Structure 1
Amino acid sequence: MRLINKYTLFVVLCYSFSIGLSGQDYTKSLIIPAVYNHYHLNPFVINPAHTGFENVNRLLFNFRNHWAGFDDSPKAITLGINGSPVKNMGLGGLIYSESYGAANRFVGQANYAYHFSAGENNKMGLGLSGTYNQYKLGNEVITDPLHEGPDVLINESVEGEKFFGADLGFWAEFGNKFKLGITLPQIVLTRLDNKKLDGDKPFNFIGFFGATWDVPEYRVSLEPSILLRKVSDVPFGTDLNILAKMLDDRLYAGFTYSFGPSDSRVSFLGGVRIDRLRVYYSYDQTYQTFQTFNNGSHELSLSFDIMGSRKNTNTKPMNHVEEMNQQ
């Protein structure tokens, strides 16, 4: 039964990615950036320009279980760190590991960002990241009883494919009121085995816009936002988010509605901040038929502000320009 589920999952993954994809584009679809629900809480995971933007040295752990309850469903772990070691500079990195059935993906990423003020109460940043990507099948596909004799394609898949990629990002915050982010994932993408990528490299784009409204009499801050995503040849997608920060940013609640030509889903988020520690959890369900075969998706994020951060995280963040002028 477990073996059957592995192949069922593989078929489902192929179908999910094949909407709008040609056969040779399937390989490119495996190279799409990692999917996170909590990107609006930790923007540096999707935009290198946000690295160190808050002048806080922060550790991040993220775990996502996609299609929970279905054997060998995709599971991903992210370990990250980002901070601002010196004025106007952000440095960070990510390690990402994902498994889905017999397929495995590993990503190592390094981020650099330069921040600057642009007029009164405005702060902006430009960022660049370099990534090492490896995609392969586990050795169990060779020892599987259904595998008969040598298969060149399977053997090559077990050895894996390795890529180098580079992302470019821009992030801006205006008067602690509005946020704007633009990411161009994989503006550079090349294989490390001297083989050429099949077909033309698709255009990738992630756009984010958010706002903040404080309601001081209720100690609540509301942050609506929208994210537009077009990566690889996967259909265009949109996220509509609303995040509420309550009790002086100690309690969080959020909702996301995501939609596109091939899928739509809803996500519910809750979180808490205890001194330097932040814990976020979200649960989402899709409106696809496959939802009847799984228990939805779960995501957990833990972040911890390290000693030596260049601002006090227990108080309301000061104006970004004032912050830079005090350094």
Structure 2
Amino acid sequence: MKMKNVLAIVIGVFFTHIAISQEGLPIYTDYLTDNYYLIHPSMAGVANCSKIRLTGRQQWFGQDDAPRLLTLSLNGRIGDSQSAFGGILYTDKNGYHSQTGAYVTYAHHLMFSRSEVDLNMLSFGLSAGLIQYKLDETTFLLDSPIDDPAIDGIVQSRGNFNIDFGFSYHYLDFYAHATVKNVLKNKGINTDIDPVNQTDNLRRYLLSVGYVFNKYGSEWSYEPSVMLQYRDATEEASIDVNAKVYKQMDFGKIWGGLSYRNSFDGAEYLTTSNSVRSQKLQQITPIIGVNYNQFMFAYNYTYQTNSLVFTNGGYHQFTLGYNFNCKRKRYECNCPAVN
């Protein structure tokens, strides 16, 4: 087998960790840009402001049909109640596959402290989503001289419904989130092409834990956190190890951070000497951001550190945000996601 073909196979398998085309909204590091609601429905309306966030992500600049993602999210409290609503629209394209989805979220927040000064809150969130998958086969028959009965040469389309459920707990400067994504069983769009290797179990488990440190009277605060994710069907797991730093300014705050993602599972490949090696997904993502009055801007760049990669070009992502209907800061805590 030619080395070029081996690399193509390995890359196709390996990048399923980061470019899932049939599992709903992809999970990147955009949640670190003041956007935890993207992955945890229980974070809808947790802050003292309603939030709009727009993100754009482009992978592998210069490559045709490279993965790209656009998301638009909105969440906020219903008046002064403990209930909140949210919504997410997104479009994700990866080569011949694409998906468009919309989620609606309801969240409820329970206060355990006797006053709003001390933060002690448990939140629950439920998201319901409609996702339309597409597979563009219009060029498949042109590229292959062999007639394949599994290829219709059209744009295949299928819609699915699924739900996400999770909870969040905030206690002073500590927080924890747990979410089950794609609770219901359903399939994507390749069910007729490869029914043996298809699964209707798209369930994914997410767990995030973090703490914000701050010395009394200091303008600086520090936030280490981790995020674990586990895919039920394939038993794949990965971890994000994150560190962020904030500096309070007259106009708002500036902040930055670093995220390291490591997969616990690897993919095997052949070297030029026909020896078998294995590598695991490893990514480093620096993040910078600024909050100016009610506006927010952030940028992150993801670089894959593996020796065998599709291209050396990284992944660029921009986030624009706006906060509105803001209330006073209710809690005496270093909790940027809440206050």
Q: Give the TM-score normalised by structure 2.
A: 0.78
Distance 1:292 1:199, change over 3 A: closer
CA contact (8 A) 1:122 1:173 kept: yes
CA contact (8 A) 1:214 1:221 kept: yes
1:80 equivalent among 63, 68, 73? 73
- Letter in structure 2 aligned against 1:124: L
* TM-fit CA distance, 1:54: 0.7
* Root mean square deviation, CA, Å: 3.2
Partner in structure 2 of residue 174 of structure 1: 171
1:154-180 Cα shifts (integer Å, max 9, x gaps)? 3387222321110101011102x1011
Moved more, 82-91 or 131-140: 131-140
Give me the identity figure in percent.
Answer: 22
The alignment status of 1:115 with 2:131, answered yes or no, reads: no
The alignment status of 1:37 with 2:29, answered yes or no, reads: yes
Instruction: Tell me the distance in 1 between the aligned counterparts of 2:7 and 2:95.
Output: 7
Unaligned runs of 5+ in 2: 265-279, 334-339
* TM-fit CA distance, 1:101: 1.6
Distance 1:104 1:311, change over 3 A: same
Instruction: Tell me the distance in 2 between the aligned counterparts of 1:95 and 1:9.
Output: 34
Instruction: Tell me the distance in 2 between the aligned counterparts of 1:66 and 1:174.
Output: 37
**1:1-327 to 2 correspondences below 5 Å:** 14-16=12-14, 30-31=22-23, 33-40=25-32, 41-86=34-79, 87-120=81-114, 121-138=119-136, 140-141=138-139, 145-148=142-145, 151-155=148-152, 158-175=155-172, 177-190=173-186, 198-199=198-199, 201=201, 203-232=203-232, 233=234, 235-248=236-249, 250-261=253-264, 262-291=280-309, 293-306=311-324, 309-312=325-328, 317-319=329-331
Instruction: Tell me the distance in 2 between the aligned counterparts of 1:31 and 1:52.
Output: 25
Partner in structure 2 of residue 22 of structure 1: none
* TM-fit CA distance, 1:267: 0.8
Structure with the bigger percentage of strand: 2
- Letter in structure 2 aligned against 1:116: L
Distance 1:238 1:275, change over 3 A: same
CA contact (8 A) 2:164 2:179 kept: yes
Corresponding residue SS for 1:293? coil
Corresponding residue SS for 2:139? helix
Instruction: Tell me the distance in 1 between the aligned counterparts of 2:182 and 2:203.
Output: 9
Structure with the bigger percentage of helix: 1
CA contact (8 A) 1:97 1:107 kept: yes
- Letter in structure 2 aligned against 1:221: S
Give aligned pairs, total: 300
1:264-291 Cα shifts (integer Å, max 9, x gaps)? 1111000111111100101111122344
CA contact (8 A) 1:66 1:73 kept: yes
- Letter in structure 1 aligned against 2:29: N
CA contact (8 A) 2:137 2:154 kept: no
CA contact (8 A) 1:164 1:189 kept: no
Unaligned runs of 5+ in 1: 1-6, 20-25, 322-327
Distance 1:95 1:12, change over 3 A: farther
